[in-house]
Amino acid sequence: MAKKNKPKHENEGGGEEEEPDFSDPEDYVDDITEEELLGDLLRQKPKETDGVEAVIIVDGVPQVEQDRLEKLKKVIRKIFEESGGIINDYYPTDKNGKTKGYIFLEYKDKASAEDAVKKRNNYKLDKQHTFICNLFTDFDKYNDIPEEFVPPKPQPYKDFGNLYFFLMDENCYDQFSIIYDCGTSSGSTTAIYLNSIPDPQEIQKRERWTESYVRWSPRGTFLATFHAKGIALWGGEEFKQIQKFSHPGVQFIDFSPCENYMVTFSPHIDQRNEEPHSIIIWGIRTGQKKRAFHADKPPVWPIFKWSHDDKYFGRITDELLSVYETPSFGLLDKKSIKVPGIKDFSWSPTDNIIAYWIAEDKDVPAKVTLLSIPNREEIRAKNLFNVAECQMYWQKSGDHLCVKVARYAKAKREKNEIRYAGLYYNFEIFHMREKGIPVDSLEIKEQIQSFAWEPVDNKFGIISGEPPSVTVTFFQVSKGQQPAELKKFEKRDWNNMFWSPQGQFVVLAGLRNMSGVLDFIDTKDFQIMATTEHFMATDVEWDPTGRYVATSVSWWGHKVDNAYWLWTFQGKILSRHTIEKFCQLLWRPRPLSLVTNKDEIKKAVKKYSSQFEIQDKMRLSKASREIIEKRQQQMSSFIEYRKRMTEKFNAEKSERLRLRNSQDTDTLTSNVNDFEEEIVEFLVKKEVIPIE
């Protein structure tokens, strides 16, 4: 750098003093980039593509004369401004001033333009006009396509092994996962076990496999693990990674019933971003993002609810019931259903039918409505009065829907206002398979603790009353009749009901803050097969075949006595497993059965029962043989250990004699008079008790 003349100024003594020199030395090299100094500003620097990335082209627009152009513009803006503000539009016209049928719309940013293309492509304006939407930049991309077709290179096939290997077990043993060592610095451990006899067999174990908890997919194909950067799916005999999904901060996931899609939710992503990132729907097989959504505040999980066949999913937002269809992931019929006062909805487990309820509004009663999808036909409605809350319970077979209605009990009218005194409950039973869908009502005037349908029959159970003394009542639903009471158990300390997946058997339990009492009941004759206890139990899980039950004390619920116990469906204890900081046990689900006529199998049971008995005896004898071999091995190990310790003891005898002044204390012939007895007393505890 060239030297400059330094200006001078007078100091206090009247003399001249040189100003400080801030110039760089001659050999100075400036290695600081503009990105480091002005990074925030440079990121806002306009780019050459900014002018066109926010522009879309809409084809299929009505061709109108100039006198109708303003009306057309208002209609177009109303449709397309849902994706963001439109800052400019252009309607090309011919020499007569008539529009040409396509237009250009410019949004404020690229994200809004992409959202408009996604939402409004193939949008049906009327019978004659359907919009075809494209980004302006897509035209350049398609113009650059080479004239000669070059086939893509085939991707190598990834063999993940047999994803359904767990169904091939000759003994039909089920699998379950457990998580333990939670809250430690080394991270939790996840293990997969085979529920074999006599003891579960570990088939896979990994530390830090997940950072929070795990989830099985609905048909048991995949195991999902949670990580700071997203979700990973594992499967096959070696539990290799099948797919991964990047979604930072993800905390909740939900699978579609047929395992085609997965929903992930990250509550920590900033909702102020115009482009949605909080909720993402993924294709499980491809790993591709299908669509993203913003989340409500506060969100209620699951945000989306799926139809039984994965064809539709829906959500509630601002008194709108929005139903989307797959694989397009667009709104069904391009619009949501306006339902003022809607509170909740639920899909039938076997049919594309939605049940939803709306709250009371002044003189308008509450209502439960059944809606057929996709034609949106209202097939049944039921008005309800004095409603505080509703909850919907579908029977697994879809034959019945129960709506639990909490109603206000009227007291008296004061100053033109009705005062209410407490709540009572109604159960509205919808008979879905009968003509006209008749509805039966059942009234219970006690607090309801639990309700559950039997999965494969028309029975249901209700736990009512205040703990620890409650009443459990079982009912039977029949065609054309009111629900009939089958059995009542009074003054019990249960608060949860768990039906076997195959029906007939039920476990009634007092969990969490109760004693952990367990009763195993056969609802065929309502015989209590076993009454037992797992103290401080927090969870009860049936295996998918209905043969076994797992009860557990989770470290997430209690910090002591963490363990899981395995029982038969009759309440016989099989094994107890105490594990430090045990957290979670989940049975691996099974796919839906392909057998249609199960009655024929029941008739043929006697034919094959003798074979099953032989297999059971062989298995028991094998288990006994394994136990004997295990005990023999332990005995051999003990004898070997005792032999080593005896040799060591004999080798140290000379040293013991030296330390004890040649007194041999190892034999009974030692003279006991040579030893002195010494009594040592010390203070254990001091307690002062005042005398009144």
C-alpha 461/C-alpha 454 separation (Å) is 8
Look at residue 614 in the predicted model and tell me its pLDDT: 74
Strand order in the sheet with 240-246: 214-216, 223-227, 230-235, 240-246
Query: Does residue 253 lie in a domain region?
Result: no
Same domain as 610, residue 487: no
User: Tens digits of per-residue pLDDT, 173-217?
Assistant: 999 999 998 877 777 899 999 998 778 999 999 999 999 899 999
pLDDT above 90: percentage of residues in the chain: 46
Is residue 74 included in any domain, yes or no? yes
Domain boundary residue, one of 95, 119, 144: 144
Beta bridge partners of 425: 406, 444
pLDDT digit string, tens, across residues 124-178: 888 888 999 999 888 777 777 778 888 888 878 877 888 999 998 888 899 999 9
The DSSP line for 325-369 is ETTTTEEGGGSPEE-TTEEEEEE-SSSSEEEEEE--BTTBPEEEE
* pLDDT score for 51: 63
Q: Across the chain, what does the average pLDDT equal?
A: 85
Answer yes or no: are the C-beta atoms of 561 and 535 closer than 8 Å: yes
Query: Are 583 and 609 in the same domain?
Result: no
Distance CA 551, CA 516 (A): 10
Same domain flag for 534 and 470: yes
* Spatial contact of 503 and 545, defined as CB atoms under 8 Å apart: no
How confident is the model at residue 532, as a pLDDT?
94
The verdict on 586 and 541 lying in the same domain is yes
Domain that holds residue 70: 52-144
Residue 572 shares a structural domain with residue 633: no
Out of 1-10, 25-34, 220-229, 517-526, least confident range: 1-10
Stretch 414-437: mean pLDDT: 78
Domain contains 157: no
- Residue 386, CB-side half-sphere exposure with 13 Å CA sphere: 14
pLDDT band per the 50, 70, 90 thresholds, residue 1: very low
Same domain, yes or no: 525 and 631: no
Answer whether residue 25 shows pLDDT above 80: no
Instruction: Specify the pLDDT at position 672.
Output: 56
pLDDT at residue 665 tops 60: yes
pLDDT, average across residues 634-651: 93
In this prediction, residue 2 carries a pLDDT of: 44
Structure confidence at residue 394 (pLDDT): 95
* Same domain flag for 545 and 468: yes
């530390």: which residue's tokens?
207
The 3-state DSSP class for residue 409 equals strand
Is the Cβ–Cβ distance between 52 and 112 less than 8 Å?
no
Per-residue pLDDT averaged across 399-414, rounded? 79
pLDDT at 90 over 80: yes
Q: Are 586 and 217 in contact (CB under 8 A)?
A: no
What's the CATH code of the domain at 581? 2.130.10.10
Angstrom distance (rounded) from CA 537 to CA 557: 9
Using the 3D structure, point to which of 144, 176, 201 is the last residue of a domain: 144
418 part of a folded domain: no
Please check whether residue 484 is in contact with residue 476, taking contact to mean a CB–CB distance below 8 angstroms. Answer: yes
**220 assigned to some structural domain:** no
The answer to whether residue 137 sits within a structural domain is: yes
Angstrom CA distances, 385 to 364, 405, 635, stand at 9, 10, 74
Handedness of CA 106, 107, 109, 115 (dihedral sign): negative
Percent of residues, the chain, with pLDDT higher than 70 = 88
| 476 in the same domain as 560 | yes
Which of 527-536, 581-590, 652-661 bottoms out in mean pLDDT, i.e. has the lowest?
A: 652-661
Q: What is the pLDDT of residue 4?
A: 45
* Residue 551 within any structural domain of the chain: yes
pLDDT of res. 310: 94
Token reading at 447? 């607090």
Region 587-614 average pLDDT? 79
Query: Of 45-49, 406-410, 559-563, 684-688, where does mean pLDDT reach its minimum?
Result: 45-49
- What SS3 class is residue 489? strand
Phi and psi at 295, nearest 5°, equal -105, 145
pLDDT for 283: 93
What's the burial of 160, exposed, middle or buried (CB within 10 Å: 0-12/13-18/19+)? middle
Per-residue confidence (pLDDT) for residue 3, from 0 to 100:
45
Same domain, 527 and 619: no
pLDDT at residue 59 is higher than 80? yes
**In contact, 235 and 223? CB cutoff 8 Å:** yes
In a domain, 69, yes or no: yes
User: 399-418 burial string, b = 16+ CB within 10 Å, else e?
Assistant: bbbbbbbbbbeeeeeeeeee
Q: How many CB atoms lie within 10 A of CB 474?
A: 20
What pLDDT score does 231 carry? 95
551 & 614 share domain: no
Tell me which of 508 and 513 has the higher pLDDT. Answer: 508
561, 591, 621 - which closes a domain? 591
Lowest mean pLDDT among 113-117, 279-283, 676-680: 676-680
pLDDT tops 60 at residue 299: yes
Q: What is the DSSP string of 222-269?
A: -EEEEETTEEEEEETTTTEEEEEEE-TT--EEEE-TTSSEEEEE-TTS
Overall domain count for the chain: 3
* DSSP-based three-state secondary structure for 536: coil
**621 and 486 within one domain:** no
Confidence (pLDDT) at 225: 95
Q: Choose among 315, 308, 312, 307: nearest CA to 278.
A: 315
At 120, which CATH number?
Answer: 3.30.70.330
Are 486 and 584 part of one and the same domain? yes
Torsion-angle region of residue 7: left (phi > 0), alpha (psi -120 to 50) or beta? beta
